[in-house]
Structure 1
Amino acid sequence: MKLLMSIINFRKLRIYQLVLIIQVCVVITAQGQQFYFKGDRNKDAMPFLQVKNLIIIPLYLNNKGPYNFILDTGVGPLIITDPSLIDSIGIKVSRTIKISGLGSGNEIEAYISNDVSAQLGKSYIDNIPTAILKRDIFGLSNYLGTKVYGLLGYYFFKSFVVELRYSTKRLLFKHPNSGGKIKGERIPIEISSYKPYTNITIENPEYGKAEIKMLIDNGASHAISLERLNEKPFPVPAASIKANLGVGMSGPIDGNIGRVSALKIGSFAMKNVLASYPKYDDVAAKVLLKDRNGNLGADILSRFNVIFDYADNSMYLRKNSQFKRPFEHDMSGIELYLEDGQIRRYFISRIEPGSPAENAGVLVDDEIITIHFTPAASFKLDDINNLFKSVEGKTIILSIRRNDELVLKVFKLKQRI
């Protein structure tokens, strides 16, 4: 049967801008697979690392590890993005498939395996359906500043009642029949093709008020992506900027970044929410996306403590301390990637046209040496990105290396959306 998998585009520092859907023709021979506890245990809890709104957890594979994986409601099978794990943990692959995705370009190849066992905390799963990319096209580690090997999704979420406690960076999970009252406002969800969907309401001058169906994707760092409305391109607001939304499975994806004036999920209302509008021909026109209008990402979900109960078709939301934080886009125009060796090295992968960085003469491939005269290597990647979207009018001082010369660049952050 056909297995739809949602994979995030992490390359070019636009993880929060777009969720990709790819179609993999996989025959899954054991549909009943799920995580389980040994003995009398019925629940577990563990800390997680949160980077760019994403949840990174330590996963053991074939009794080796731990390996950092992103916990992601938007994916079906286990996805390994680093093919070196095939040899290091002894994966037996059954066959090779071709994957076509969003954007323009050629297909890529992946291996399929049902030979992988996994352990997360005190939970286990045997023979989890797995796709292993033949080459790491996403560059998760360069984007997140920590080594990441892939994504874990549906088979974990379907096995337990799962709480993502963003306020304390804790993951809690228990058997659905273990009892106890679930706290929060219940939001009905639909599980379709291994992924959860819900309805939200948005409002903007271009189309008024609209109720739309969204993929719930905590593995996408953005707030929302709007792809199609009434079988047509989603209306792009006048106050938007053109953007490179990343590199998909099949090549680059262009679009716009704007805002919706109001968003409501359940009884929770938000204003001036950032939204990405991918180019229709590259994304929304794809036949696989006709069951939805877009996706709801972690810049929304991380403002709550979230509980998923797939067995009851439910998601529960409770506001946390981050609920009222403003939705801010990068104000510098700089996209970074990290080369993480003995010393962190930060390079500029893209400059947005008309941005403060472009106007100051910052160029692609420049290496940032210091930030405010402090060595760049002393900053985490997340810290730099947070600085670049911190306060409009803030002065940024960079020393950069270009062709073996040091150059000083100074500019002020500017809100462009």
Structure 2
Amino acid sequence: MLLWCFPVLGTAQSYELPKGQKFQKIKFQLVNNLIILPIEVNGTELSFMLDTGVSQPILFNITDQDSIQINNVSEIKIKGLGEGEAIKALSSRGNSFKLKNIINRQQLLYVVIDKSLNFSTSLGIPVHGIIGYDLFRDFVVDINYGSKTIKFYDPEQYVYRRSKRAETLPLTLHRKKAYLDADVDIGDSDSIPVHLLVDTGSTDAIWLFEDEEIGIPTEHYDDYLGKGLNGDIFGKRTKVNNIRIGSFELFNAKAAFPDTRSFMAIKNFANRDGSVGGEVLKRFNIVFDYSRRQVTLRKNSMFKSPFHYNLSGITLQHDGVRMVSERISDGRGVVKTKEGSFGNVQILFEGQTRLSLVPEIVVSGIRAGSPAETAGLKEGDIILAVNGKSIHKYKIQEIMQMLDEKQGKKVKVLIERYNRDLLFSFVLEDLFKHKKP
């Protein structure tokens, strides 16, 4: 899981549509509940995550091979979620950001220098940065998770249409972040009102902060929750009887209680009780209207989809590339490449063999006491196949689905460890069975 939070730093000029254009429609990728948008920065096209939890655009994962001009640079330190120290970054003013016809020629930008801060290895696609408040400030933002499209409307031109299936709720804006009110039924008491950060940059469902009213349910387990600007975030994974947002109810919903140490450096939470992330938000088509301090929700086809749990206990990431040799029936001795992911170079030898440079997928983390750890899998193991399927043919999120398909399923994982191929098998169990404190 991934979640980032950044401090409020500076201001930026506004984004504008061409004169006479009412809105701009853009296709996005939905990867592990995250919205990934193509944005040109000073003429270079990059991929940005759309994150309502971030105040200013952040660039990271910039390598020696990237050719990106940034303007008016000075050095700063920033602090966000996680247990680590503040990190060095660059502040850059006067940058041009372009989303199709939308342009901001005076965008303030921050560049994180630490190369370990990288979404791409976990998501399986190149991601260069995150962007949030500036876009939501300047437009009415209509996100259709079902069609994977987003429309940015001129607020003065946007017309609300009445619908019995949609509901408009108030938003609170504080320090460039949006909050909404909801209710949770944890199970040990009556429904509890909660004030939640709206966080499209979190892959998770709902986070709650433990206090006198909000207690951790009896059935829970320790888990890795995500990555913050200043380090990994751990906590308790659990589920609640329901989450109610307006009149919409989600039952047996996934929830987590992050360790309080991860938030010690963050001040002024605006009486926040937690956050609502992408695994809940993707179940709606959403219209954010910061200018009117409101959000409109409408259920989509994913509303009743089951919540995803990491049943195996394995966390995966890309770690370079590896060579794969396959027998083929025909070939023409050509080199092929595929765009949009890692590796993907193929060399075909006529009538015999195909050599491919493919992403190397490794176990980057493993939950203590999980089925995978009990079976003998270890951090650093290279995944070769899952249930007999060679994993280089699949995206990283598809591999995770193979590993976590359903309770009671037997999973066989072929790995490479110290140049030896090893086969492990385990059964996916009920995560809340016998999980008493």
CA distance in 2, matches of 1:413, 1:87: 42
**Quick check: 1:218 aligned with 2:218?**
no
In 2, are the aligned partners of 1:77 and 1:129 still within 8 Å (CA)? yes
**Quick check: 1:394 aligned with 2:376?**
no
1:155 positional shift = 0.9
Q: What secondary structure, in the 3-state scheme, does the structure 1 residue paired with 2:70 have?
A: coil
**Quick check: 1:346 aligned with 2:358?**
no
Tell me which of 187, 197, 208 is aligned to 1:205. 187
Report the residue type matching 1:378 in the other structure: K
CA distance in 1, matches of 2:82, 2:293: 32
1:283 positional shift = 2.1
**Quick check: 1:313 aligned with 2:297?**
no
Tell me which of 183, 186, 201 is aligned to 2:168. 186
CA distance in 2, matches of 1:386, 1:102: 28
1:284 positional shift = 6.3
Tell me which of 101, 111, 117 is aligned to 2:96. 117
Question: Partner of 2:142 in structure 1?
Answer: 163
Report the residue type matching 2:278 in the other structure: A
Question: Partner of 1:52 in structure 2?
Answer: 32
1:236 positional shift = 1.4
Tell me which of 145, 149, 157 is aligned to 2:124. 145
CA distance in 1, matches of 2:110, 2:89: 6
Work out the number of aligned pairs and report it. 394
1:53 positional shift = 0.8
**Quick check: 1:195 aligned with 2:177?**
yes
CA distance in 2, matches of 1:344, 1:84: 18
Q: What secondary structure, in the 3-state scheme, does the structure 2 residue paired with 1:104 have?
A: coil
CA distance in 2, matches of 1:333, 1:51: 20
Tell me which of 99, 104, 108 is aligned to 2:78. 99
In 2, are the aligned partners of 1:81 and 1:132 still within 8 Å (CA)? yes
In 2, are the aligned partners of 1:76 and 1:154 still within 8 Å (CA)? yes
RMSD: 2.0
In 2, are the aligned partners of 1:82 and 1:132 still within 8 Å (CA)? no
Structure 1: gaps of 5 or more residues: 1-13
1:113 positional shift = 1.1
Question: Partner of 2:215 in structure 1?
Answer: 235
**Quick check: 1:287 aligned with 2:271?**
no
CA distance in 1, matches of 2:195, 2:392: 42
CA distance in 2, matches of 1:136, 1:287: 26
Q: Deviations over 1:13-69 (max 9, x none)?
A: x21xxx443435x443x5xx221112321212121111101111110111222x111
Q: What secondary structure, in the 3-state scheme, does the structure 2 residue paired with 1:222 have?
A: coil
Distance 1:170 1:103, change over 3 A: closer
In 1, are the aligned partners of 2:210 and 2:257 still within 8 Å (CA)? no
In 1, are the aligned partners of 2:174 and 2:270 still within 8 Å (CA)? no
Question: Partner of 2:339 in structure 1?
Answer: none
Question: Partner of 1:10 in structure 2?
Answer: none
1:287 positional shift = 2.7
Q: What secondary structure, in the 3-state scheme, does the structure 2 residue paired with 1:390 have?
A: coil
Q: Deviations over 1:83-129 (max 9, x none)?
A: 44997221124321112233333221111111211111221112112
Q: What secondary structure, in the 3-state scheme, does the structure 1 residue paired with 2:195 have?
A: strand
CA distance in 2, matches of 1:304, 1:389: 24
**Quick check: 1:331 aligned with 2:311?**
yes
**Quick check: 1:277 aligned with 2:257?**
yes
Q: What secondary structure, in the 3-state scheme, does the structure 1 residue paired with 2:117 have?
A: coil
CA distance in 2, matches of 1:209, 1:274: 16
Report the residue type matching 1:97 in the other structure: I
Distance 1:222 1:246, change over 3 A: closer
Q: Percent of pairs identical after alignment?
A: 30
In 1, are the aligned partners of 2:10 and 2:108 still within 8 Å (CA)? no
In 1, are the aligned partners of 2:205 and 2:255 still within 8 Å (CA)? yes
In 2, are the aligned partners of 1:366 and 1:401 still within 8 Å (CA)? yes
Structure 2: gaps of 5 or more residues: 320-341, 344-356, 433-437
CA distance in 1, matches of 2:372, 2:81: 29
CA distance in 2, matches of 1:87, 1:270: 43
1:370 positional shift = 1.3
Report the residue type matching 1:387 in the other structure: M
CA distance in 1, matches of 2:265, 2:217: 20
In 2, are the aligned partners of 1:284 and 1:290 still within 8 Å (CA)? no
CA distance in 2, matches of 1:87, 1:333: 35
Distance 1:171 1:20, change over 3 A: closer
Distance 1:44 1:287, change over 3 A: closer
In 1, are the aligned partners of 2:57 and 2:131 still within 8 Å (CA)? yes
In 2, are the aligned partners of 1:21 and 1:288 still within 8 Å (CA)? no
Question: Partner of 1:322 in structure 2?
Answer: 302
Question: Partner of 1:3 in structure 2?
Answer: none
Q: Give the structure-2-normalised TM-score.
A: 0.85
1:290 positional shift = 5.2
In 2, are the aligned partners of 1:347 and 1:365 still within 8 Å (CA)? yes
